[in-house]
Amino acid sequence: MNGNKSYYLVCKSVCFYSAVDESLFFEWIKRIARIQKVDGAGDEFYLYFKNASISDNDLRDLLAMFYRYKIDMKQLGQFFNEDNKEWFYGKPKGYWHRRVFGV
């Protein structure tokens, strides 16, 4: 994607509760500006990013989406940086904190 490092998220065995739910999931993905490409194989699909720099709003949407659809949230840690440190890492009571950063 951008030289030596690709940034992507793996969505494995996502459980959709209805056909509309699945459609809305993919519509949600389309609204996250930094996602450049979606690709899939088997029961996995991949969300590709140009780099690890995404907006706070896009990161919040990813947190909510991954939480709702029970997708492994640890991989969202790659988007941690000095600019989002205060709210992303600095809020240990946030519903995402333990799922992204562990104990």
pTM of the full predicted structure?
0.89
Q: What is the tens place of the pLDDT at every residue in 53-85?
A: 999 999 999 999 999 999 999 999 999 999 999
Answer yes or no: is pLDDT of 12 > 90. Answer: yes
* Confidence class for position 4, pLDDT limits 50, 70, 90: low
Q: What are the C-alpha distances in Å from 51 to residues 29, 62, 77, 94?
A: 17, 15, 13, 25
Domains of the chain: 7-101 (3.30.70)
Burial (0-12, 13-18, 19+ Cβ within 10 Å), 59: buried
pLDDT at 1: 41
Average pLDDT over the chain reads 92
pLDDT at 51: 87
Answer yes or no: is pLDDT of 94 > 80. Answer: yes
Q: What is the tens place of the pLDDT at every residue in 44-58?
A: 999 999 888 999 999
Cross-strand partners of 2:
5
pLDDT at 52: 87
